[in-house]
Amino acid sequence: MRVLGIETTCDETAAAIVSVERSGEAKILSNEVLSQIAAHAAYGGVVPEIAARAHVEAIDRIVARAFESAGMKPSEIDGVAAAAGPGLVGGVMVGLTTAKAIALVTAKPFIAINHLEGHALTARLTDDLAFPYLLLLVSGGHTQLLAVRGVGDYLRLGTTIDDAVGEAFDKIAKMLGLPYPGGPSVEREARSGDPERFEFPRPMSGRPNPDFSLSGLKTAVRLVAERIAPLSDRDVADLCASFQAAVVDVLVDRTRAGLRACREAGIKPSSLVVAGGVAANQQIRNGLVRLATEAGLPMVAPPMALCGDNGAMIAWAGLERLRLGLVDDMSAVARPRWPL
């Protein structure tokens, strides 16, 4: 079974083809991603109108390349999936319309995918991972703890009451004059910084409900940065390292609360899984490995290339749905908001 997946919810124009062989082995046959970072960098964040136009310009080429690198013709796929939200609606419409057109022309099933479900199921593409598992989903727009019980069966245990983790990284980077996207910039600076120089708060730590709050931490960083300005390179590195250390502690503490919530709900997770753009952060991965070891569970994280937005995660979620007979019709619409 081979599925084409298209992703255009934010600032990546992406298309991929994934397959499941008769042996049950999952494979990525192609994975084309065109990042729009350069187009948005001057604005310090994603500009929706620029993103939508850039998707229109790139989508045909990216889809053609996904077929070329897989060595396949459109008639050889078994289904077409596209992220139908949540995200910037102008961009979502580009991917969704393209996918519907390909499905119509090839007379193959069409599958509308929730972008968050794409992140949630990615680890099953690269690892032999059984349901249920506890997922920490951390991206630029979302921060959630989910008990993933099956395809389409997600129990949300906790979420952020203000900023998403990636958003906090992006705002701190902007505040410190570091380039967009902020996550990789802050992680790079933090490598040469002292994580103990500033003692930042760990919001929500110790609370039983596995929710998150990051705006207080962000404000604490801003207040210190303003107090010690003008900032030297050393100051910036120390601020980044101290901020990142606080984020790691918060994510570990909140995920520990998520494990407790699973137990209380009678759910026995097979693994602890992290996904989303922020899952690329090595210190966060290390913190979660420590927690998983403490809980006696394996920690599973997708390879770096599959943490940020990509087409393979949408193709894979499409394949998981298609093999259960969960397909959509052409009335599926782009949804700017779409809780999992």
Binding site for substrate, by residue number, is 137-141, 170, 183, 187, 281
Rule CB under 6 A: choose which of 3, 6, 10, 237 binds ligand KG4: 10
Length of the chain: 340
Query: Which range of residues in 67-75, 217-225, 278-286, 319-327 is near ligand KG4 by CB under 6 A?
Result: 278-286
Residue 166 sits in the site that holds ligand KG4 (CB under 6 A): yes
Q: Is 111 helix (H, G, I), strand (E, B) or coil?
A: strand
Query: Which range of residues in 23-31, 52-60, 266-274, 277-285 is near ligand KG4 by CB under 6 A?
Result: 277-285
Q: How many of the other CB atoms lie within 10 Å of CB of 139?
A: 24
Calculate the CA 20 to chain-centre distance. 23
> Which of 289, 290, 294, 157 lies closest to 212 in space, CA to CA?
157
Q: Is 321 helix (H, G, I), strand (E, B) or coil?
A: helix
Query: Which range of residues in 72-80, 122-130, 139-147, 158-166 is near Zn ion by CB under 5 A?
Result: 139-147
Residue 308 sits in the site that holds ligand KG4 (CB under 6 A): yes
Strand partners, 137: 144, 275
Residue 181 sits in the site that holds ligand KG4 (CB under 6 A): yes
Q: Please, which residue, 102 or 309, has the CB nearer to ligand KG4?
A: 309
Burial status of residue 238 (CB atoms within 10 A of its CB: 0-12, 13-18, 19 or more): buried
Residue 67 sits in the site that holds ligand KG4 (CB under 6 A): no
**Longest Cα pair distance anywhere in the chain, in angstroms?**
63
Helix-then-strand count for the chain, H and E: 10, 10
Query: Which range of residues in 126-134, 145-153, 191-199, 276-284 is near ligand KG4 by CB under 6 A?
Result: 276-284
Q: From the list ligand KG4, Zn ion, none, which binds 48 (C-beta under 5 to 8 Å, kind-based)? A: none
Residue 117 sits in the site that holds Zn ion (CB under 5 A): no
Which residues are annotated binding-site positions for Fe cation?
Answer: 115, 119, 309
Rule CB under 6 A: choose which of 91, 95, 183, 193 binds ligand KG4: 183
Q: From the list Zn ion, ligand KG4, none, which binds 91 (C-beta under 5 to 8 Å, kind-based)? A: none
Please give the C-alpha separations between residue 34 and each of 58, 125, 246, in angstroms, as whole numbers. Answer: 8, 21, 32
Q: Nearest 5°: phi and psi at 135? A: -115, 125
Q: At what angle do helices 282-295 and 182-190 cross, to 10 degrees?
A: 80
Rule CB under 6 A: choose which of 213, 281, 287, 306 binds ligand KG4: 281
Cβ neighbours of residue 249 under 8 Å, at least 6 residues apart?
A: 202, 205, 287
Rule CB under 5 A: choose which of 13, 30, 106, 139 binds Zn ion: 139
- Restricted to residues 116-155, the positions that interact with ligand KG4 (CB under 6 A) are 139-141
Distance in Å, CB of 201 to Zn ion, minimum: 27
Question: Which residues of this chain interact with Zn ion, rule CB under 5 A?
Answer: 139, 309
The site for ligand KG4 (CB under 6 A) is made up of 10, 139-141, 166-167, 169-170, 181-184, 187, 276-278, 280-281, 308-309
